[in-house]
């Protein structure tokens, strides 16, 4: 069978989606009329941000001099927070096209994705895109790629005009090896993605390594040993297309009335329940959320609606987690975990835009490992849940290994940025005479907020980064509580370094002071570490607010004005007798 399973790996905006569209077009799966929208990016949010969040495989029929090939193009998510998903998508392939923008050159994610491809022993075909652009630096980029990969045969293409795409397709079928045929072995299939269908349950996107799967078969999920009966198997065209079976080497989907998306984990192995002893494929990890924040409905009545929306959203994005939380200050809501801060942004935006939820989101935190005096270890994802300090032996925090690519003129700026973020220098390497890879170890909590924005601004938009979290380290960390008129606002508690606690809490108090409107009484804002007040701000009481003229013709108008004022109040959260607007909670998120 002439199958080629491959993926395109590229940094954001290097033209991956456009190249996918061109492949689809060449293989007659899409008419050029449709090319405005990039066919594989389904969600509007993805298109707006120019990134692919969910990967959508597609099966193409490619004719090369009379020989027919089946190309399974497995799309990969394109952002730092999704590197595990990328690695699983890659492990479903035999080869990759390494796509680099001729005007940008090798970027941080080009690097990290390339290394993931190497780890998976994939055939790499480098290609330089956008060669038709006036500012293309083909020779420089070529050198960078050769330095990175050692491969000299680099395709030059323009996904936009279609130039070089035919030759690239030819290379794919010639250079990428066909999958091994192990149809006689017991079933072994890799789950590299999933989506939810309200009739068929979770649809798992799979790559068959060994054996085959067909309708009616009893399958088992290796990680949790749950068994299901397959009700449908099929392949991906632009839609799902049912098929009799999927055999070794093929890429497709199965449906087995799996109702709980938690059961299907990316990277897990599907085996035949008759052969429960079958080994799992390598590389499976339970997805780890690293950024945590609480989401509350803006008005308490919104709780049920928010729950429904989260349930729905979760079906299509099982990589975030949520559980009910009852906050003393903000009422009922959900504690949520995300793969990174961009992931948090996406979930927030989808809740607001697709599900019309009016939400309050709290200051994001990472996960901390707390070692108690009795050597018991607990993980803390919500600062307000940190045990009493007297019980704590030490607090450990996750450390990220960060790789940054920047034009060399900005090295100084980047180093300064990383120092302010408590980074430790590890390594520096020239990619070419103009560009440098800087490697730092940085506490993960220090790259959650605004890190990317800051990096972009100090490198005039040229800097890119990627990270992986690889260990825990003891930190000099304390919990800071925020009090409003003596009442602790649990949703505002945060964990930080003891030498940053004062600055950070002062900034938070100032932001709160600005965004909380004057009340009838003085409002005292304080921050506290272990019972000791470290900073204080006050909001003077409102001295005067009274309508002047109010006569016959005005009654209706004035009543409406007062009602508007009252409506505004309803949208505020009451902490004791103080009304705090949603903006107050949002404004502090901007604090690094």
Partner 1 sequence: MRNISIYIHIPFCLKRCKYCDFYSIEVKKNEEYFESFINGLEKEINLRLNKMNNFKVKSIYFGGGTPSIIHESFYERIFNKFNNYFDVSNVKEITIEANPETVETSKFSNLKKLGVNRVSLGVQTFEDTSLSNLGRIHNTKKIYESVDILKKFYENINIDLIFGIPNENSENIEKNIFKALNLKPKHISIYNLEYHKDTKLFEDLNIRKIYKWNDIKEKKGYILLRNILIQNGFNHYEISNFSVDGFQSIHNINYWLGGEYLGFGPSAYSFLDNSWYKNGNLFFYLNSLKKNEVPFLKREVLSLNKLNKTLFILNLRLLSGVNLKKYKNLDHFFYEKLNNFIKEGLLIKSDNKIKLSLNGILVGNRIFSDLL
> Which residues make up the interface to partner 1 (CB under 8 A)?
518, 520, 540, 542-553, 555-556, 559, 562-563, 565-566, 569
Least distance from partner 1 to the Cβ atom of residue 342, Å: 36
Q: How far is the CB of 484 from partner 1 (least distance, A)?
A: 18
User: Nearer to partner 1 by C-beta: 426 or 562?
Assistant: 562
When the beta carbons of 486 and 552 are compared against partner 1, the nearer one is 552
Q: Are 441 and 471 in contact (CB under 8 A)?
A: no
Residue 36 CB partners (closer than 8 Å, separation 6+): none
Residues 6+ apart with CB under 8 A from 156: 127, 128, 131, 138, 164
Between residues 262 and 569, which has the closer beta carbon with respect to partner 1? 569
Residue 38 DSSP SS3? coil
Half-sphere exposure of 466 (CA within 13 A, CB side): 23
CB of 565 to partner 1, least distance (A): 4
Q: How far is the CB of 568 from partner 1 (least distance, A)?
A: 9
Residue in 438, 452, 389, 382 with CA at minimum distance from that of residue 410 = 438
In whole angstroms, the minimum distance from the beta carbon of 574 to partner 1 comes to: 12
Q: Would you say 493 and 482 are in contact if contact means Cβ atoms under 8 Å apart?
A: yes
Identity of the residue, 378 or 562, whose beta carbon is nearer to partner 1 in the bound complex: 562
- Please identify, using beta-carbon distances, which residue of 159 and 580 lies nearer to partner 1: 580
Q: How many CB atoms within 10 Å of residue 44?
A: 12
Say whether 389 sits in a helix, a strand or coil: helix
- Report, in Å, the least distance between residue 567 CB and partner 1: 9
Q: C-beta of 296: minimal distance to partner 1 in Å?
A: 24
Looking only at the bridges linking them, the beta strands covering 155-156 and 123-129 are parallel
Which helix (H) or strand (E) segment is 329 a member of? none
| 289 close to 224: Cβ distance less than 8 angstroms | no
Name the residue nearer to partner 1 (CB basis): 118 or 518: 518
Closest approach of partner 1 to the CB of residue 549, in Å: 6
**Which tokens sit at 109?**
């994610």
Look at residues 90, 107, 89 and name the one whose alpha carbon lies nearest to residue 144: 107
Alpha carbon of residue 358 to chain centroid: 22
- Looking at the Cβ atoms of 1 and 540, the one nearer to partner 1 is 540
Strands (E), 180-226: 188-197, 201-210, 212-214, 218-221
* Least distance to partner 1, CB of residue 299, Å: 17
What DSSP string runs through 135-183?
A: T--HHHHHHHHHHHH-----EE-BTTTTBTHHHHHHHHHHHSPPPP--T
Write down the least CB distance from residue 555 to partner 1, Å.
Answer: 6
Coil, helix or strand at residue 57: coil
- Return d(Cα 343, Cα 425) in angstroms, integer: 27
Write down the least CB distance from residue 540 to partner 1, Å.
8
Nearer Cβ to partner 1, position 33 or 546?
A: 546
Distances (CA, A) of 196 to 6, 283, 311, 462, 592: 24, 24, 11, 38, 37
- Answer yes or no: are the C-beta atoms of 221 and 264 closer than 8 Å: yes
User: ∠ CA 5-10-12 to the nearest 5 degrees?
Assistant: 135
CB-nearer residue toward partner 1: 147 or 569: 569
Comparison of 288 and 559: residue with beta carbon closer to partner 1: 559
Closer by beta carbon to partner 1, 144 or else 579: 579
CB of 532 or CB of 549, closer to partner 1: 549
Distance CA 491, CA 574 (A): 13
Alpha helices (H) along 248-330:
303-316
User: Residue 453 class from Cβ within 10 Å (0-12 exposed, 13-18 middle, 19+ buried)?
Assistant: exposed
Q: Which is nearer to partner 1, 35 or 558 (CB)?
A: 558
**At closest approach, how far in Å is the CB of 522 from partner 1?**
13
| Inter-axis angle of helices 303-316 and 341-353, nearest 10 | 120
Cβ neighbours of 17 (radius 10 Å): 24
Write down the least CB distance from residue 544 to partner 1, Å: 4
């Amino acid at each position: 069978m002439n199958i080629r399973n491959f993926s395109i790996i590229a940094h954001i905006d290097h033209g991956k989606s456009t190249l996918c569209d061109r492949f689809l077009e060449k293989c007659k799966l899409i008419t050029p009329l449709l090319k405005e929208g990039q066919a594989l990016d389904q969600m509007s949010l993805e298109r707006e941000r120019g990134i692919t969040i969910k990967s959508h495989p597609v099966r193409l029929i490619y004719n090369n001099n009379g020989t027919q090939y089946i190309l399974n193009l497995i799309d990969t998510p394109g952002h730092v927070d999704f590197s595990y998903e990328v690695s699983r998508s890659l492990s479903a392939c035999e080869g990759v096209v390494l796509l680099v923008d001729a005007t940008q050159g090798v970027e941080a994610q080009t690097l990290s994705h390339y290394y993931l491809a190497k780890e998976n022993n994939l055939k790499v075909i480098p290609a330089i895109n956008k060669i038709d652009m006036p500012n293309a630096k083909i020779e420089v980029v070529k050198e960078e790629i050769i330095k990175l990969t050692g491969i000299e045969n680099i395709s030059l293409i323009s996904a936009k005009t279609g130039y070089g795409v035919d030759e690239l397709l030819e290379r794919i079928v010639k250079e990428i090896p066909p999958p091994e045929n192990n149809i006689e072995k017991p079933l072994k299939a890799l789950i590299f993605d999933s989506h939810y269908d309200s009739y068929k349950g979770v649809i798992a996107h799979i790559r068959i390594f060994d054996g085959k799967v067909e309708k009616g078969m009893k399958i088992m999920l290796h990680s949790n040993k749950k068994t299901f009966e397959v009700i449908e198997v099929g392949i991906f065209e632009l839609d799902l297309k049912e098929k009799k079976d999927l055999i070794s080497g093929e890429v497709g989907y199965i449906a087995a009335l799996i109702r709980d998306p938690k059961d299907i984990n990316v990277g897990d192995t599907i085996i035949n329940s008759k052969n429960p002893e079958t080994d799992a494929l390598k590389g499976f990890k339970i997805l780890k959320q690293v950024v945590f924040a609480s989401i509350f409905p803006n008005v308490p009545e919104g709780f049920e609606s928010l729950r429904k929306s989260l349930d729905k959203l979760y079906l299509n994005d099982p990589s975030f987690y949520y559980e009910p939380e009852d906050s003393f200050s903000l009422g009922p809501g959900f504690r949520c975990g995300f793969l990174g801060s961009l992931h948090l942004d996406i979930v927030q935006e989808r809740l607001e835009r697709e599900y019309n939820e009016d939400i309050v989101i709290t200051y994001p935190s990472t996960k901390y490992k707390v070692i108690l005096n009795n050597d018991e270890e607990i993980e803390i994802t919500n600062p307000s849940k940190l045990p009493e300090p007297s019980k704590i032996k030490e607090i450990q925090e996750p450390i990220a290994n960060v790789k940054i690519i920047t034009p060399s003129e900005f090295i100084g700026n980047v180093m300064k940025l990383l120092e302010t973020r408590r980074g430790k220098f590890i390594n520096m390497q020239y990619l070419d005479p103009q560009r440098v890879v800087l490697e730092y170890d940085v506490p993960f909590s220090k790259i959650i907020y605004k890190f990317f924005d800051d990096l972009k601004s100090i490198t005039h938009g040229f800097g890119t980064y990627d990270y992986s979290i690889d260990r825990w380290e003891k930190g000099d960390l304390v919990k800071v509580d925020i009090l409003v008129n003596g009442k602790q606002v649990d949703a505002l508690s945060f964990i930080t370094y003891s030498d940053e606690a004062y600055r950070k809490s002062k900034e938070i108090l100032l932001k709160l002071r600005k965004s909380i409107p004057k009340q009838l009484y003085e409002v005292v804002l304080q921050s506290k570490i272990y019972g000791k007040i470290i900073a204080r701000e006050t909001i003077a009481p409102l001295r005067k607010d009274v309508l002047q003229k109010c006569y016959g013709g005005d009654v209706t108008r004035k009543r409406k004005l007062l009602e508007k004022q009252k409506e505004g109040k309803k949208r505020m959260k009451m902490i004791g007798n103080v009304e705090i607007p949603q903006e107050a909670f949002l404004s502090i998120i901007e604090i690094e």
